[in-house]
Amino acid sequence: MNTGLILLGIVIVVLVYGISLYNNLVRLKNAVAQAWANIDVLLKQRHDELPKLVEACKQYKQFEQETLQRVIAARAQVQTAREGHDIAALGLAEGAMRSSLGGLFAVAEAYPELKANENFMQLQNRITGLENGIADRREFYNDAVNINNVAVEQFPAVIVANLFSFTTKPLLEFSTAEKSDVDMKALFS
């Protein structure tokens, strides 16, 4: 009788612990999804704001068309990666976006009329604010992914993770060019 109660107690403790591990893994998986959704919202906002910025720049006949085309192409790359939830492609596309926006803002410095245009300045400030927000959300996403990945790989949670198909998630990584400072001298030459 005592042996049966002890075994029942052990089974109950193991079951409760397993349920606790499962619930924690679900919470972490959803934290990663929420962090991605936060990035997605900001990327969508930037995607919607960029055409307005480009249009404001097009109003100036002498504005460099090649710079605008790079911004438009980078915007399309980010949108494609965002819609496909392709984290690796998004990292590369973000590098191209950062570079093209840096070029756009640098060229605007050469055109005082454009730089002084109120619409352009508002849009530039809005895009800069979105870029800062995206950078913050990237960090939050990678933190959530790291916590999830550690939990999924640690023992004994790895047993529950494998049983219920919890997997590691990819970090949002960036190219070396994305991590380096923008070469302002090159942008102006």
Q: pLDDT for 31-88, tens place per residue? A: 999 998 888 888 888 888 877 777 766 666 555 677 778 888 888 888 888 888 888 7
The answer to whether the pTM exceeds 0.75 is no
CATH code: domain 2-188 is 1.20.1440.20
Helix (H) or strand (E) run with residue 76 in it: helix 65-83
- Tell me the C-alpha to C-alpha distance, in Å, between residue 97 and each of 28, 32, 72, 113, 187: 30, 24, 9, 24, 14
Dist CA 160 CA 178 (whole Å): 37
**Residue 60 contacts residue 111 (beta carbons within 8 Å):** yes
Question: Residue 14: how many CB atoms within 10 A of its CB?
Answer: 11
**Tokens standing for residue 94:** 């973000």
Domain map of the chain by residue range?
A: 2-188
